[in-house]
Chain A
């Protein structure tokens, strides 16, 4: 007979490379597909979002300066770490969503592959979208995509892990930092994914993950003046117009996507044009 006490996991937020509880002290219940209690994750508050933005802003210049090669290595490292913890992610997805084990395994495999795919884009995106422009003068004229800044994202409800990776990876490939709100009903794999990020050499503040209610946090994200772009892929289409209206205050770029696409990376990049004199 075992007298061992269960070691239950506390699901917390991921802000600035650390795992704080929400400052509000609020939590909510997550149940599995059959209605049984699973966990009490944090119900993030406006203050948590503010703290995450401060961390993301502080981290942005450093992340932007990292070489494309280095960014690619770090994204690949995330994929390596995720691969090593497949079993845990499969268990959590099965437990929370009630899908078959085979389906959960496919989602984790796709997630790892998706990360590797985005890792490859880091040193190719500027070749794809940059240009040498013809100009009528003794100049080289380049256009190159550059990072936009701090981007907020709402991950879709399902698939909870793959959707989260599609929300995070394209944003950081471009040199931005991100604050992402995880799936509300299935936040466990997001918080476990934070542990993967924490062991992947991702600088603190580059990726910040919140859990909570979309209706609460999305308007705060839309109105925050220090957020430069907003990926609302995880929100139903009828909410889009309202959030876009709020986001106009600081000319925040708001986009939504339904697939993995290089356009997703370019959406949160800005084109810079450089004139360089020839000869003389």
Chain B
């Protein structure tokens, strides 16, 4: 099975499809991303950008030490990021490990956060090193527990050794498990893919296999969501839209810690994919520390003086 009729499911057709995309001009991508990072943002736009970025955050906790209490606190923060200011929008979703999905969903529903999604990391996150039945069961568990978004990792070992069809089949199968119950985000772990050519190839592969979102990283490997990598992925979704008339979302994750970084990402989106992508259904930022910095910048814009981390919650 495949989507959009781009690949018929055989290895030969996938190879032909992937061979149709040229390589990435690395120097050009670095330079373009660097230039876009220098754009200055006026105060009114900054205000809009901060609120937009907040609504795009996938508030994440992916620690071995996660507890139900911590996840519930995170959910409360996701619904009402600043308890003293109801004009702050809710974040896009909370992103947790599989076993915390039920706890997160129940707590969100209890506190009036029905509009906030729960994303589960799946398919033996973060390494992706497990057998296919395990990965399918992992995903099924998350959906059964109430996950509305599945963040799956690809098998980088298979990808890097050229077994693209295995990666493709995995994504197709997980998408089938998701059905219409959950959105599928495919994580490439770009820090392990090494080259921009590979990032581009992985992007087109995942989109043809039915991904709703393509995501840079797990957050466990550095470098993560660097600007040129996000640029390459945004160019891929733009070109894919031209080919199929379908808009695929992009989610940078890892390393985006402050408002400046977040606004740089929004500039990249606007200038590369286009303003249609500037909404939570097509662009998400996977982060944990970022939200506090966004809230502090928002306080500073409201109050006129610099805020302190002492006035936002410790996660």
Contact = CB atoms under 8 A, between A and B. Distances in A.
B219 to A, nearest CB: 22
A4 to B, nearest CB: 39
Contacts of A53: 306
A99 to B, nearest CB: 38
- Which of B304, B307, B308, B309 has the most A CB atoms < 10 Å from its CB? B308
Interface stretch (A129-137, A171-179, A220-228): A220-228
A226 to B, nearest CB: 4
Contacts of B304: 223
B156 to A, nearest CB: 34
B311 interface: yes
A224 B305 CA distance: 6
Contacts of B308: 224-226, 250
Contacts of B309: 57, 226
Nearest to B307: A225
A57 to B, nearest CB: 7
B110 interface: no
A225 B309 CA distance: 9
B261 to A, nearest CB: 15
B199 to A, nearest CB: 32
A110 interface: no
A147 to B, nearest CB: 15
Bin the interface of chain B by size.
under 10
B45 interface: no
Per DSSP, chain B at the interface is loop
A249 B306 contact: no
Which of A50, A224, A225, A226 gathers the greatest number of chain B CB atoms within 10 Å?
A225
B87 interface: no
A220 B308 CA distance: 14
Nearest to B311: A225
B310 interface: yes
Interface in A208-266: 220, 223-226, 249-250
A162 B39 CA distance: 44
Contacts of A226: 306-310
A116 B145 CA distance: 65
Interface in B268-315: 304-311
Nearest to B299: A225
A249 B311 CA distance: 12
Nearest to A219: B305
Contacts of A225: 305-308, 310-311
Contacts of B305: 220, 223-225, 249
A226 B308 CA distance: 4
A238 to B, nearest CB: 23
A29 to B, nearest CB: 29
A50 B308 CA distance: 11
A250 B307 CA distance: 10
A1 B177 CA distance: 86
A223 B307 CA distance: 9
B160 to A, nearest CB: 37
Nearest to A50: B306
A243 B306 CA distance: 16
B127 to A, nearest CB: 32
A42 B62 CA distance: 44
Contacts of B311: 225
Nearest to A222: B305
A250 B299 CA distance: 13
Interface in A87-129: none
Nearest to B300: A225
Nearest to B309: A226
Contacts of A250: 308
A226 B293 CA distance: 13
Nearest to B305: A223
A111 B53 CA distance: 50
A226 B306 CA distance: 7
Contacts of A50: 306
A183 to B, nearest CB: 25
Nearest to B304: A223
A53 B308 CA distance: 10
A250 B306 CA distance: 11
| The 5 nearest A-B residue pairs measured at CB | A226-B308, A223-B305, A225-B308, A224-B306, A225-B307
Given A57-B309, A226-B308, 4 more contacts: A224-B306, A225-B305, A225-B306, A226-B310
23 contacts: A50-B306, A53-B306, A57-B309, A220-B305, A223-B304, A223-B305, A223-B306, A224-B305, A224-B306, A224-B308, A225-B305, A225-B306, A225-B307, A225-B308, A225-B310, A225-B311, A226-B306, A226-B307, A226-B308, A226-B309, A226-B310, A249-B305, A250-B308
